[in-house]
Amino acid sequence: MLKQLALVAAAAGAAVVAVRRRSAGAGRGEADLWHEATNGPQAVSRPTTR
């Protein structure tokens, strides 16, 4: 019974780590898309500078 509980805990921990890694990767991708959309000659919109 204790071994099963340990296996379940390890699996849950691995799942949490996987979700965190995926979330961090998504954040970087979103920043890259924002940079691409707001800079360069093909920019959809450009931030105003003062």
> pLDDT at residue 27 above 70?
no
Tell me the pLDDT of the chain averaged across its residues.
76
Confidence of residue 50 (pLDDT cuts 50, 70, 90): low
> pLDDT at residue 48 above 70?
no
19-41 b/e (C-beta count within 10 Å ≥ 16 → b):
eeeeeeeeeeeeeeeeeeeeeee
Identify the pLDDT of residue 19: 77
Q: What is the dihedral of CA 46, 34, 31, 33, to 10 degrees?
A: -150
pLDDT higher at 12 or 24: 12
Confidence of residue 23 (pLDDT cuts 50, 70, 90): low
Q: What is the mean pLDDT of residues 34-47?
A: 74
